[in-house]
């Protein structure tokens, strides 16, 4: 025990310990700065709006070139300009592919549940139109993830339409 006590009281040991603590602090400081830069880059990427690149547009058009066409509507979150801009891009590419697409409409989200995110391709009819599956596949081939929603019509809810909903980025 005397040797540990004498080591602790030696100038050489305290100097080396102090240096080790300073180096450790510097390493943690650098790590904190690097983590901050990485977090900032992730936040910037999340804030950037979604776009359909020329390459993605080409993939979508090629994938839909020989598929059945039909009518659909596009909806976007009313409080988010990014969702409107992305909805317009989806409308434009589907119109070029030969679909009848109405101008995007705003969607007001009500309720207490978690807000929906991403792109939802919804079918609201007795059966999914042939072109619904083709649109999902084309968007996914282009790297645009979609959630598929199917709600068959019923006697008290007769519906027959297809809609794409553009919600906030996941």
Structure tokens at 159: 């519906």
Q: What is the DSSP letter of 118?
A: S
- Report how far Cα 167 is from the mean position of its chain's Cα atoms: 9
pLDDT by residue for the chain (170 residues), tens digit each?
556 666 666 777 777 777 777 888 777 777 777 766 666 555 555 567 899 999 999 999 999 999 988 888 899 988 889 999 999 999 999 999 999 998 888 876 666 667 788 999 988 776 667 778 899 999 999 999 999 887 776 666 556 678 899 999 88
Outline where 48-120 has alpha helix (H): 54-64, 81-96
Structure tokens at 80: 């988010």
Residue 164 CB coordination number (10 Å): 24
Burial of 104 (0-12, 13-18, 19+ CB in 10 A): buried
pTM higher than the cut 0.85? no
CATH fold group of domain 54-166:
Alpha-Beta Plaits (3.30.70)
What is the per-residue pLDDT for 142?
A: 97
What is the per-residue pLDDT for 170?
A: 84
Structure tokens at 107: 């969607």
């Amino acid at each position: 025990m005397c040797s540990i006590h004498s080591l602790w009281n030696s100038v050489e040991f305290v100097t080396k310990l102090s240096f080790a603590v300073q180096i450790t602090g510097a390493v943690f400081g650098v790590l904190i700065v690097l983590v901050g830069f990485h977090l900032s880059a992730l936040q910037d990427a999340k804030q950037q709006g979604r776009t359909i690149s020329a390459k993605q547009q080409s993939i979508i058009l090629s994938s839909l070139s020989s598929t059945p066409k039909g009518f659909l509507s596009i909806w976007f979150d009313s409080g988010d300009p990014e969702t409107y801009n992305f909805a317009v891009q989806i409308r434009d590419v589907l119109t070029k592919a030969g679909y009848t697409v109405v101008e995007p409409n705003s969607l007001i989200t009500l309720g207490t549940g978690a807000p929906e995110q991403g792109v939802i391709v919804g079918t609201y009819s007795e059966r999914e139109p042939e072109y619904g599956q083709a649109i999902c596949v084309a968007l996914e081939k282009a790297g645009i993830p979609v959630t598929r929603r199917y709600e068959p019509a019923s006697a008290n809810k007769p519906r027959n339409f297809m809609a794409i909903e553009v919600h906030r980025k996941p």
